[in-house]
Amino acid sequence: MNHAQIWNAIDTLAKEKGYSVSGLARASGLDATTFNKSKRLSTYGQERWPTTYSISKILNSTHTTFSEFAKYAE
């Protein structure tokens, strides 16, 4: 999985579950800005990746398996 695929999976999961990315973050007990598009690249253009903790939180709160999440990344 590459950077774009991971973020696409998060965006798709949010949409499939009826959330914005901010809503998904809040529903998962994370800061609402965790998945904002503005945080996906640093000010120098370096890719920022979501943490495994954040991914785990959204999978648990949406009752999604990692296999299902991985399909969104394809």
Over residues 16-72, the pLDDT tens digits come to 999 999 999 999 999 999 999 999 999 999 999 999 999 999 999 999 999 999 999
Contact present, 22 and 36 (Cβ < 8 Å)? yes
Domains and CATH numbers, the chain: 3-73 (1.10.260.40)
Q: According to the model, what pLDDT value does residue 62 have?
A: 98
Q: According to the model, what pLDDT value does residue 20 have?
A: 97
Q: According to the model, what pLDDT value does residue 74 have?
A: 87
Q: How many CB atoms lie within 10 A of CB 15?
A: 13
Q: Where are the alpha helices (DSSP H) in the chain?
A: 3-16, 21-27, 52-62, 66-73
Using one digit for the tens of pLDDT, what is the confidence trace for 2-17? 999 999 999 999 999 9
Tell me the pTM.
Answer: 0.94
d(C-alpha 44, C-alpha 73), whole Å: 25
Contact present, 28 and 58 (Cβ < 8 Å)? yes
**DSSP bridge partners of 47:** 41
